[in-house]
Amino acid sequence: MDKSAGNNDALKFIDLFAGIGGFHIAMENAGAECVFVSEWDPAARKTYEHNFKSRSPKIFEIDPSTGEQPRFVGDITAIDLEKQPDAIEDFDILCGGFPCQPFSQAGLRKGMDEARGTLFFNILHILREKRPAAFFLENVRGLASHMSGDVRTIKIIEEKLRELGYSYELFHVKASDFNVPQHRPRVFIIGFRDPDAAARFKAPEPVKLTRSLKDSDILGPSAERDIAYTLRVGGRGSGVNDRRNWDCYRVGDSVVRIEKEQGIKIQGFPDWFRFPTSVANSQAMKQLGNSVAVPAIEAYSNSIVAAIRGTSSGSKQE
């Protein structure tokens, strides 16, 4: 569903560690308006602006006194809300696929002891200072089992969020349960400041998978699989017989490597989404590997919006 931004009645959200905008699309479709974005990677920023500048122009406005984009920032660690409380305008929902490398099987699994892991504490800082109604965080499934010393990292995260007065629920979600032709197991962490909103929240039910790699606009009916391996950042081109393979498939008598056009569909991005010509295919595939499966995020976004508004269901996907 294509909604125009700027609705005064819309809930407002911020998009942290935004990547190429999967959360933006999902929350926009759920009826919320994006008012602040943070993404440090220059190539991902190009893709984000390329797709959302016409949809949410306010985010990309330049402050003439500084020449910067105050609502589209690179380094979230530079935002100190104690000193600059208006650096982020008031909002209702904090969204973030915070960096997963410290918690993934492919990483060194240092968790909170690694600099990227501590970016979670920037989320806590924003929650403490801005007090939004809810948060929606996404990470790799390894987060749920990762240890920081002799304590599970997820328990530290839960404790810190509850200390701020938020509820806490963790969900194990597969993209393929929300009509995305990709396994992509992830954890979603959702919480509310208002206990009544927390009580109203209902996790969405999985839906029947009707999308497949065998669809004509992905790999076609001769593809060996219905559901793709999880798109990743590293290991591209490992080969169809390599245990690390995630981007090569047998299609009839041939071996086909998925490219960005197929990757967009495998992640559930809408037809209007495009990579700018300045972003190479390899970089586009990296960005897709770092992204979220949009329909899965959207299903939970609908439920979050419904819980805050006190309605029985969120905006319907169309």
Catalytic residues: 100
Query: How would DSSP label each residue in the chain?
Result: ----S--TTSEEEEEES-TTSHHHHHHHHTTEEEEEEE---HHHHHHHHHHHTTTSGGGG--BTTTTB-TTEES-GGG--TTT-TTSS---SEEEE----GGGSTTS---GGGSTTGGGHHHHHHHHHHH--SEEEEEEEGGGGT-EETTEEHHHHHHHHHHHTT---EEEEEEGGGGT-SB--EEEEEEEESSHHHHHH--PPPP------TTSTTTT-TTBS-SSBPPP-SS-TT--TTSTT--SEEEETTEEEE--HHHHHHHTT--TT----TTS-HHHHHHHHHTS--HHHHHHHHHHHHHHHHT-SS-PPP-
